[in-house]
Structure 1
Amino acid sequence: MLPSSRKPYTNAALAHRERWRGRVGLMLVASLSVLAGMTDAIGFMASGDFVSFMSGNTTRLAVAISEGDLGLTGRLLLLVATFIAGNALGVVVSRVSQRHALPLLLCIAALLCGGALWPFAEMLPALLAAIVAMGMLNAAVEEVNGLPVGLTYVTGALSRFGRGLGRWMMGERRSGWRVQLIPWTGMFVGAVLGALLEHQLGLRALLISGALAAFLGVVTLKIPRRWHLGYMPR
């Protein structure tokens, strides 16, 4: 009788733990999306270029090519390539640090603060530092309880939400699609904050982004190690 009486308790405990792992993961996603939105808005307002929204830079690249603007074409190609390199570097830092989020987020913080303190009028190096940081950010969380999430881009999240809404309208009751609004909301809120900060501080507003990245890195130390391993890319 003892094993059978303990089994429901064990299952309930496991289900409770899974729910909390999902909630903590989504709170982390929301916070990191705020960081991404804030940084993207600051970079865009200060330079006219997107820091994390590579879909926008890709469209601008196509337009620049069609207009024969070689200078802008080269600049946008550099931005896109830098973002790709940042993603690759994020995975490398994650693996070298044995998939601990703190070293990754501290590297991101250092890049953002370095960009904010860039002392020269030509801001391209500062912009590239911020782009590398946003590429690296994607290595902090890749999925939560099996649901894919994006931190520096929200087109996929909105698409998954829309498809889930369509299935719900057709009577299907799959779970998980509503949470796709979390990274979009986080990025939107962050972009509003970033725009307000850039109005006051200019590119130096990236110092706030850097401080937020470092703070979130410290916060991740409170997340159970096994949970965070499930969030980060393998």
Structure 2
Amino acid sequence: MLPAHTPQSHRRAHVTRLHKRRGHVGLLFVGALSVLAGMTDAIGFLATGDFVSFMSGNTTRLAVALGDGHGALAARLTLLILAFVVGNALGVIIARLTGKRAWPLLGLTALLLLGAGLCGLQAELLAMFSAIIAMGMLNAAVEEVNGLPIGLTYVTGALSRFGRGLGRWLLGERRSGWRAQLVPWGGMFFGAVLGGLLELHLGFAALLASSALAALLAVASLLIPRRWVQRYMAR
């Protein structure tokens, strides 16, 4: 009979612990990035009436504007949605070109948000483009954590996955991971509250706080083992 603890069992235990630790760190990172997204979205929405990261809302508004014959608003919203798509594409490209490191992506996000905050409402459309591209890029920072799909700048998918997981749990299925979907939702909610308070006192310049947070997260990402970051990021 084999002893209770064989080298193979030790290896399996070590891999399991590593897997859990990578998941916990990843979810903490996701929560912080979602705070940034919620904060930025709330600032942009309160200052201009347009969403910075919630493109479902802008898509509905675009459809309504078209139906009401508001051509100028429809054109503006179309450009904002396209900026978000471009930001997502750029995020993947930057992630690949930098060897799947998070800090260059987050550093550029910080610079774009800094530019948006400095432009202010004097160059509103340019500032919104900058902030929206930054939020699109942010989605490439984390796409999954231990196999769980993650959305950073929108939470409809997270709530849907949580709700479906809850339904399966009520039916007696014991799948793991669905509770983790509350992390990006909670982060975005907290960030939006914070962003609303900042916008109340600073106006559109509150995006400078978003820039500072993005820069801090870029530095914090250097503390995460690179191989973990590579697993979180775009493939």
TM-score band w.r.t. shorter chain: over 0.9
**Distance change >3 Å, CA 203–CA 165, structure 1 → 2:** same
**Which digits, 9 at most, give the CA deviation of each residue in 1:65-96, with x for residues without a partner?**
10011000100000100000000011111111
Distance 1:122 1:135 in 2: 20
**Which digits, 9 at most, give the CA deviation of each residue in 1:86-117, with x for residues without a partner?**
00011111111111111100100000000000
Q: TM-score, normalised by structure 1?
A: 0.97
Q: Which structure 2 segments of 5+ residues have no match?
A: none
Distance 1:198 1:120 in 2: 13
Q: Equivalent residues in 2 for 1:189-200 (5 A)? A: 189-200=190-201
**Distance change >3 Å, CA 102–CA 2, structure 1 → 2:** farther
Q: Which structure 1 segments of 5+ residues have no match?
A: none
Q: Give 1:122 shift.
A: 3.5
The total of aligned residue pairs comes to 234
Q: Equivalent residues in 2 for 1:17-96 (5 A)? A: 17-96=18-97
Distance 2:214 2:153 in 1: 14
Q: In structure 2, give the amino acid aligned to 1:99.
A: K
**Which digits, 9 at most, give the CA deviation of each residue in 1:9-56, with x for residues without a partner?**
111111000000000000000000000000000000111000000000
Distance 1:104 1:125 in 2: 20
Distance 1:36 1:197 in 2: 14
SS at match of 1:181: helix
Distance 1:102 1:202 in 2: 28
Q: Equivalent residues in 2 for 1:59-208 (5 A)? A: 59-118=60-119, 121-208=122-209
Distance 1:122 1:39 in 2: 17
Q: In structure 2, give the amino acid aligned to 1:182.
A: V
Which residue in the other structure is 2:210 paired with?
209
Distance 1:3 1:157 in 2: 44
Q: In structure 1, give the amino acid aligned to 2:99.
A: Q
Q: In structure 1, give the amino acid aligned to 2:77.
A: L
Distance 1:94 1:230 in 2: 12
Distance 1:2 1:26 in 2: 38
Identity of paired residues, percent? Answer: 63
Q: Equivalent residues in 2 for 1:3-14 (5 A)? A: 5-14=6-15
Q: In structure 1, give the amino acid aligned to 2:172.
A: G
CA contact (8 A) 2:114 2:207 kept: yes
- 4+ runs deviating over 6 angstroms: 1-4
Range 152-161 or range 112-121, more displaced: 112-121
SS at match of 2:82: helix
Distance 1:194 1:127 in 2: 15
Q: Give 1:2 shift.
A: 9.2
Q: TM-score, normalised by structure 2?
A: 0.97
CA contact (8 A) 2:121 2:204 kept: no
Distance 1:81 1:204 in 2: 24
CA contact (8 A) 2:111 2:211 kept: yes
Which residue in the other structure is 1:226 paired with?
227
